[in-house]
Amino acid sequence: MKRIAFVTGATSGIGEAICRKFIEAGFRVIATGRKQERLDQMAMEFKTDILTICYDVRDIAATEQALSTIPEEWQEIDILVNNAGLALGLEPEYEGDFNDWSTMIDTNIKGLLTMTRLIVPGMIRRNRGHIVNIGSVAGDAAYANGSVYCATKAAVKALTDGLRIDVAHTPLRVTLLKPGLVETNFSNIRFHGDTERASNVYKGITPLTADDIASAALYAIQAPEHVQIAEMLILATHQANGSTIVRN
Comparing CA positions, the residue from 230, 221, 161 lying closest to residue 25 is: 221
Q: Strand pairing partners for 81?
A: 7, 132
The answer to whether 15 touches 33, Cβ cutoff 8 Å, is yes
Which ranges of the chain does DSSP label H, i.e. alpha helix? Answer: 13-24, 36-46, 60-68, 98-104, 112-126, 147-166, 186-190, 195-200, 210-221
The answer to whether 202 touches 211, Cβ cutoff 8 Å, is no
Residue 193, sorted as left (phi over 0), alpha (psi -120 to 50) or beta, turns out to be left
CA dihedral 102, 104, 106, 112 (to 10 degrees): -170
- 3-state SS, residue 58: coil
Q: How far apart are CA 79 and CA 91, in angstroms?
A: 36
Q: How far apart are CA 139 and CA 178, in angstroms?
A: 8
Count CA atoms closer than 13 A to 25's CA, side-chain side: 19
Q: Which residues are catalytic?
A: 149
